[in-house]
Structure 1
Amino acid sequence: MDTEKQVLRILDEVLSLNGRSAAFDRSTHLLGAIPELDSMAVVSLITALEEQLGLVVDDDDIDGDTFATVGSLADFVAARLG
């Protein structure tokens, strides 16, 4: 499974989107565009990415740009996976 698909699966699961993420692509805006993605959900999403993909994310590694779009989040995850 490619990184973008993994990110979409985890987004759907963590935000309880009930399959809505299937319509998302790299340019889909996240932060500020999806009501379910609030500050608490960001924390839950980071935790899920760490647990399910084996990432280690430091607080200094992320900012609002990381969660701007599906593409920016997938690129962040891909960079962490090496």
Structure 2
Amino acid sequence: MRAENTQPVDRTMDIETLMRALLRDVLGLSQDRVDAFDLDTPLFGALPELDSMAVAGLLTEMEDRFAILIEDDDIDGETFETFGTLLAFAEAKAGN
């Protein structure tokens, strides 16, 4: 029997790629714009596209794309502060 590694080599990169696609799709941002995000890029309050309604849409899409369940008490003021805090939240919920 041949041993195969079916796990992605870098799961963090996969989540980061998915998060960039999610922000692009839900907020209507260009690929170039989301590709330029680094961990310190501010989100809520800095992106006009990211308002309270968009947050709800992002959370719903995160649940769908990452196959996770997000409870109301999982979210706090820091979750959408920067790209890095949002990515860390997604990684934690996805079990990384």
TM range, normalised to the smaller chain?
over 0.9
What is the alpha-carbon root mean square deviation over aligned residues?
0.9
Deviations 1:24-49 (A, max 9, x none): 11110000000000000000000000
Runs of 5+ unmatched residues, structure 2: 1-12
> SS at 1:67's partner residue?
coil
Q: For 1:3, which of 5, 11, 15 is the aligned residue?
A: 15
Q: Tell me, yes or no, if structure 1 residue 69 matches structure 2 residue 82.
A: yes
Task: State the alpha-carbon separation in 1 of the partners of residues 38 and 15 from structure 2.
Answer: 12
Identity in percent = 49
Give the helix-richer structure, 1 or 2.
1
Contact 1:31 1:64 in 2 (8 A): no
- Structure 2 length-normalised TM: 0.81
Residue 78 of structure 1 corresponds to 91
Unaligned stretches of 5+ residues in structure 1: none
Displacement of 1:14 in angstroms is: 0.4
Q: Which residue of 2 aligns with 1:18?
A: 30
Task: State the number of aligned residues.
Answer: 82
